[in-house]
Amino acid sequence: MSAARLRIAASVPSIGGAFTAEDLHEVVSAGDGPGIGVATVYRAVAAMTAAGSLAAVGARDGSTLYALCTGGEHHHHLVCTGCGTVVGIGCPIDGALRRSAEEAGYTVTSHEVTLYGLCRDCSGKRA
Ligand SMILES: [Zn+2]
Ligand SMILES: [Zn+2]
Ligand SMILES: [Zn+2]
């Protein structure tokens, strides 16, 4: 891993929620050290996503939103549209939905689920 990649990876936790590659580039650029081009950030984000440490969790203004992912057991992400907080949730597919698909004669080979809503703090503010 290059020094630039390491700095980019180290900046991700400080964002604390869903972010675009542009957001991450801003955070990385605000830090010390030599400048890092946005293309380098895109490549780092792609590499971290391929490695499973980041997950794509939707889009904002046409840019993919990413979030830190713990990996491990298969799970999905619940994204707060207010503050961008992301939490992992269990898989809803391996029960009734999969059975419904099988009754229709389908073998499910892959699926993507991302849930959007408001976290407790954000929904409290709006109440
Ligand atoms: Zn995850
Ligand atoms: Zn929130
Ligand atoms: Zn699933």
The tokens describing 86, both together, are: 């992301």
In this prediction, residue 112 carries a pLDDT of: 87
What integer pLDDT is reported at residue 53 of this predicted model?
93
At residue 45, the pLDDT reads 97
60: three-class secondary structure by DSSP: strand
Summarize the confidence of residues 32-42 as an average pLDDT. Answer: 91
pLDDT at residue 11, rounded to an integer: 94
Q: Give the number of whichever ligand sits closest to the CA of residue 55.
A: 1
Q: Report how many domains make up the chain.
A: 1
pLDDT in tens, 45-104: 999 999 999 999 999 899 999 999 987 888 999 999 999 999 999 887 878 888 899 999
CATH number at residue 8: 3.30.1490.190
Which residue segment(s) compose the domain that 11 sits in? Answer: 3-126
pLDDT, tens digit, 9 for 90 and up, residues 15-29 = 989 999 999 999 999
pTM listed for this prediction: 0.82
Spell out which residues have Cβ within 5 A of ligand 2, the ion: 80, 82-83, 85, 119, 122
pLDDT mean over 98-112: 91
CB atoms inside a 10 Å sphere around CB 68 = 18
Q: Which two tokens stand for residue 92?
A: 């809803």
Ligand 3 centroid to 9 CA: how many Å? Answer: 26
Task: Report the separation in Å between the CA atom of 72 and the middle of ligand 3, taken as the mean of its atom positions.
Answer: 12
What is the torsional sign of CA 4, 43, 20, 66? negative
The pLDDT of residue 1 is above 70 = no
- Rounded to the nearest whole angstrom, what is the distance from the C-alpha of residue 23 to the centroid of ligand 2? 17
pLDDT at 68: 94
Q: Measuring CA to CA, how many Å separate 4 from each of 18, 26, 44, 62, 95?
A: 21, 14, 9, 25, 43
